[in-house]
């Protein structure tokens, strides 16, 4: 179909300028041809997307349009454009959606110098947050690349172009009709190359490619033009970012190379966990992966090749099931007026929750009141106070079996403990909160909104309230532990 002229009218929409002419579609700014009643007008600028359908265009153009037409109306939230209307596929296919302002990620890649590390982490965390929101709706994007990620002025990331996406509850037309690997060669994940669609960790691989390019200015696997060239990422390890950009911190290289692991099981299990690490770089556990300065040696490549030759790729569960199986757990540990029974009961509850959730991430959190922090004398700086409480949290967690689980420690400061815990859970995609139940009687709780009650009421996830329980034989040991915690926090 040829480009539309400004001033054309389609089904009540007035076509304005063409703002993007891509390989698979043209996008036009549109408005209503006739003034709309206030209750009917959407209240936001709109664009119309029309797929290219010339004789030389492949069947994937119309099939991907069908996929976007199927998926976009199902999505919601600040990370996707709002759906407005769609045209008849047989007469004139089009999609009208919200026009989202901002710069695509390509804007940062086109700069003459590489972004600062803090900027890279911020962009990556925003992308991961947006992708996690998509996965929570049982949708995998599967075509993430710089042109499909929009960063708004407030730092929010918006995902565009769902033509190659897959929704767990709807037919995958691309898999049924094309029966070949589809995706952008530089960003496609290894499992997509062999035909596995619907694994949320494929999107994590694509984020890793973009983080690598933001950091180094190069693509980790180049821009292959053949299937054989794309398959090399199944065994080829990219050059470590620190070898291309010496000021790359080891924690950032650790994150990037973990995203780019050829086996999906070795990547981050969820985008929420990736966003968590990018937002808390000081607590990223660095392995040999983050310390490498040279590429893979010859025999290392040979071993990876043999491993890849016998590898069977298996898709992850439905995205929401994967998220629920490997959540971020948060435990709120009080820092004052806490009994031995409470500390013991919290540890037992966390231990039980971790034992049933292999790979889950644990965030150990305490909240200091602003008044207690400001009342410290000059000899005890705020930094030292935080260090003391971090040591206290680590002391508390020593009794936990953390094999197979990531753990981090966080000291927050707020005049409202409940609000601080809820905000932390919202900002870090926490899936489960564990905290002690109120010790006040039921009569008192009718009149006072306790911290546990407010957290349970306002939290965006499941909350487990733990009652105090202490076996007699553990009393002496817990009393000793409590004395050590008190000394660490003083």
∠ CA 373-378-379 to the nearest 5 degrees? 105
Which structure tokens are listed for 91?
A: 């007469």
CATH classification code of 103-320:
1.10.510.10
Per-residue pLDDT tens over the stretch 112-165: 999 999 999 999 999 999 999 999 999 999 999 999 999 999 999 999 999 999
- What pLDDT, on the 0 to 100 scale, is given for residue 194? 85
* Other CB atoms within 10 A of residue 439 CB: 14
Give the CA count within 13 Å in the CB-facing half-sphere of 227: 8
Residue burial 121-147, b: 16+ Cβ < 10 Å; e: rest: bbbbbbbbbbbbbbbbbbbbbbbbbbb
CA distance 22 to 45: 20
Per-residue pLDDT tens over the stretch 164-188: 999 999 888 877 665 566 788 999 9
- What pLDDT, on the 0 to 100 scale, is given for residue 400? 93
**Beta pairing partners, 159:** 149
Give the CA count within 13 Å in the CB-facing half-sphere of 33: 10
DSSP letter (8 states) at residue 194: T
CA distance 53 to 474: 73
Which structure tokens are listed for 489?
A: 């926090």
- What pLDDT, on the 0 to 100 scale, is given for residue 442? 47
CA distance 485 to 479: 10
Question: Positive or negative CA dihedral for 101, 47, 177, 182?
Answer: negative
φ, ψ of residue 183 to 5 degrees: the values are 155, 175
- What pLDDT, on the 0 to 100 scale, is given for residue 183? 80
Q: Are 234 and 172 in contact (CB under 8 A)?
A: no
CA distance 482 to 476: 10
Tell me the whole-structure pTM to 2 decimals. Answer: 0.88
Long-range contacts of 113-119 (CB under 8 A, 24+ apart): 114/214, 114/215, 114/216, 114/217, 114/245, 115/214, 117/215, 117/247, 117/248, 117/249, 117/252
Distance of CA 424 to the CA centre of its chain: 15
Q: Where are the domains of the chain?
A: 9-98, 103-320, 327-489
C-alpha Rg value of the chain to the nearest Å: 26
Which structure tokens are listed for 99?
A: 């026009």
- What pLDDT, on the 0 to 100 scale, is given for residue 445? 47
CA distance 289 to 256: 10
φ, ψ of residue 158 to 5 degrees: the values are -120, 135
Which structure tokens are listed for 352?
A: 């039980």
Q: Provide the 3-class DSSP secondary structure of residue 188.
A: coil
Which structure tokens are listed for 416?
A: 């409202």
Report residues of the chain scoring pLDDT below 70. 1, 36-41, 54-59, 176-181, 298-299, 301, 306, 308-311, 371-382, 439-449, 470-490
Task: Give the H or E element holding residue 96.
Answer: strand 95-98
Q: Are 351 and 400 in contact (CB under 8 A)?
A: yes
Q: Are 46 and 101 in contact (CB under 8 A)?
A: no
- What pLDDT, on the 0 to 100 scale, is given for residue 180? 62
CA distance 450 to 478: 26
Which structure tokens are listed for 87?
A: 């045209």
Is the CATH number 3.40.50.2300 carried by domain 9-98? no
Q: Are 290 and 254 in contact (CB under 8 A)?
A: yes
CA distance 228 to 184: 14
Strands of the sheet with 406-413, listed across from one edge: 406-413, 361-368, 328-332, 432-436, 462-466
Q: Provide the 3-class DSSP secondary structure of residue 19.
A: strand
CATH class, domain 327-489, is: alpha beta
């Amino acid at each position: 179909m040829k480009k539309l002229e400004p001033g054309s009218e389609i089904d009540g929409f007035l076509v304005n300028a063409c703002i993007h002419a891509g390989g698979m579609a043209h996008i036009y700014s549109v408005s209503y041809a006739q003034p709309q009643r206030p209750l009917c007008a959407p209240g936001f600028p709109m664009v119309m997307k029309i797929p290219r359908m010339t004789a030389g265009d492949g069947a994937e153009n119309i099939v991907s349009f069908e996929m976007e037409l199927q998926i976009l109306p199902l999505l919601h939230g600040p990370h996707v454009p709002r759906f407005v209307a769609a045209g008849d596929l047989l007469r004139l296919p089009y999609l009208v959606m919200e026009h989202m302002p901002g710069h695509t990620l390509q804007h940062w890649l086109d700069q003459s110098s590489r972004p600062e590390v803090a900027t890279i982490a911020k962009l990556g965390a925003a992308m991961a947050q947006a992708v996690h929101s998509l996965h929570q709706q049982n949708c995998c994007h599967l075509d993430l690349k710089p042109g499909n990620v929009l960063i708004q002025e407030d730092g929010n990331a918006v995902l565009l172009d769902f033509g190659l996406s897959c929704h767990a509850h709807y037919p995958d037309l691309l898999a049924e009709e094309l029966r070949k690997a589809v995706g952008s060669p530089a960003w496609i994940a290894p499992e997509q190359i062999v035909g596995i669609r619907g694994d949320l960790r494929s999107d994590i691989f694509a984020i890793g490619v973009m983080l690598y390019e933001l950091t180094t200015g190069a693509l980790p696997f180049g821009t292959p033009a053949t299937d054989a060239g794309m398959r090399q990422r199944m065994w080829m390890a990219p050059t470590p970012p620190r070898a291309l950009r010496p000021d790359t911190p080891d924690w950032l290289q650790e994150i990037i190379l973990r995203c780019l692991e050829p086996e999906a099981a070795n990547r981050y299990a969820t985008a929420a966990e990736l966003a968590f690490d990018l937002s808390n770089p000081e607590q990223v556990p660095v392995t040999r992966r983050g310390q490498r300065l040279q590429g893979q040696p010859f025999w290392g490549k040979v071993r990876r090749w043999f491993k890849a030759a016998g590898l069977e790729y298996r898709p992850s569960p439905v995205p929401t099931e994967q998220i629920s199986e490997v959540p971020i757990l948060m435990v709120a540990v009080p820092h004052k007026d806490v009994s031995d029974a409470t500390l013991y009961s919290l540890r037992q509850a966390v231990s039980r929750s971790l034992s049933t959730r292999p790979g889950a991430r644990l965030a150990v959190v305490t909240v200091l009141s602003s008044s207690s922090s400001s009342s410290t004398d000059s000899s005890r700086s705020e930094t030292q106070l935080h260090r003391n409480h971090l040591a206290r949290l680590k002391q508390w967690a020593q009794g936990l079996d953390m094999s197979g689980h990531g753990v981090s420690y966080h000291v927050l400061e707020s005049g409202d403990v409940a609000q601080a815990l809820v905000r932390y859970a919202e900002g870090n995609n926490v899936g489960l909160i564990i905290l002690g139940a109120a010790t006040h009687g039921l009569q008192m709780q009718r009149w006072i909104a306790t911290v546990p009650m407010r957290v349970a009421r306002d939290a965006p996830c499941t909350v487990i309230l733990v009652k105090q329980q202490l076996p007699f034989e553990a009393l002496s040991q817990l009393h000793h532990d409590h004395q050590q915690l008190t000394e660490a926090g003083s």
